[in-house]
Amino acid sequence: MDSFPKSALALVETMTATAAKQAERAVAFQGAPGANSHLAALQVDPDCLPVPCFSFEDAIDAVKDGVAARAVIPIENSLHGRVADIHFLLPESGLSIIAEHFMPIRHCLMAKPGHEKLTSAMSHPQALGQCRHYLRENGIIPVAYADTAAAAAYVADHDDLGAAAVAPPIAAELYGLDVVQDGIEDDNRNTTRFVVLSREPVIPEASDGANDGIVMTTFIFEVKNIPAALYKAMGGFATNGVNMTKLESYQNGASFAATEFFADIEGAPGDAAVDRALDELRFHCNSVRLLGTYRQARARG
């Protein structure tokens, strides 16, 4: 908590103390009050008690330690790709994905009242990447910070009238900053996908609705270090008609011996086709680990 800028600390302390009284309603998120993850938590559950956490690890630990019942974590953005380190943090957390949420992202350039020519802008690296064209065209140097709203609080706490922050509009209201320019994201279709994490998995209930009836399953796997391992591992999904909507590779550790993959499919364990596909996947892999099954929030394709 002490890592937050001074302007954010009072809000963080109040929100944390309130949530501590009803942990079953508490939802942890990474960032200072006013961050995009704060807004996402309220959209997922308008009646929740949001708990600001300085890092993704802190938000995950809040759930593991029983401080919060759930955490809302961003995993990928439509403009800037996956959120750094999330592929490592999710498997290590031991938590289960129980829902997903898509939120349009709106970035504002904000500065202290009476600001001068802006030469730098602080924000989370994801936000800076999503606004890189605007910043470059206006000669503003991007400066990475822990999160969007904390960057706004930092600017509010200091007297540099040439410094700005890139954050959601609500952050300007919370920290007394002026909105210099609204909607500076490079694409108005800018959207972030969040997942909701819980200590225990939740099996989605059956539904008769068209899209409401679709569930997703997320898992990671490590292929064997042999020729055509990935091709063989993927064969079971094709032959069983299981739609894979996401497949990303990443290296875990420094050995470069084998590649791990993060994947989403439509369907759930217990479905005959999904079970056959996962059995074939396991045959061609060193390890397969399910991260959660949850209701699809947005149709793919």
Q: Name the amino acid, one letter, at 54.
A: F
- List 194, 219, 237, 261, catalytic entry: 194
Strand partners, 95: none
Q: What share of the chain is helix, strand, coil (3-state, %, to 5)?
A: 30, 30, 35
Instruction: Based on the residue annotation, tell me whether 192 is a catalytic residue of this protein.
Output: yes
Q: What are phi and psi of 250, to 5 degrees?
A: -160, 155
| CA triple 156-122-17, angle to 5 deg | 55
Q: Which of 179, 169, 168, 187 is nearest to 130 (CA)?
A: 187
d(CA 120, CA 118): 6
- List 16, 148, 192, 293, catalytic entry: 192
Dihedral of alpha carbons 22, 28, 33, 39, sign: negative
Q: Which 8-state DSSP code applies to residue 16?
A: H
Instruction: Based on the residue annotation, tell me whether 14 is a catalytic residue of this protein.
Output: no
The residues carrying an active-site annotation are: 192, 194
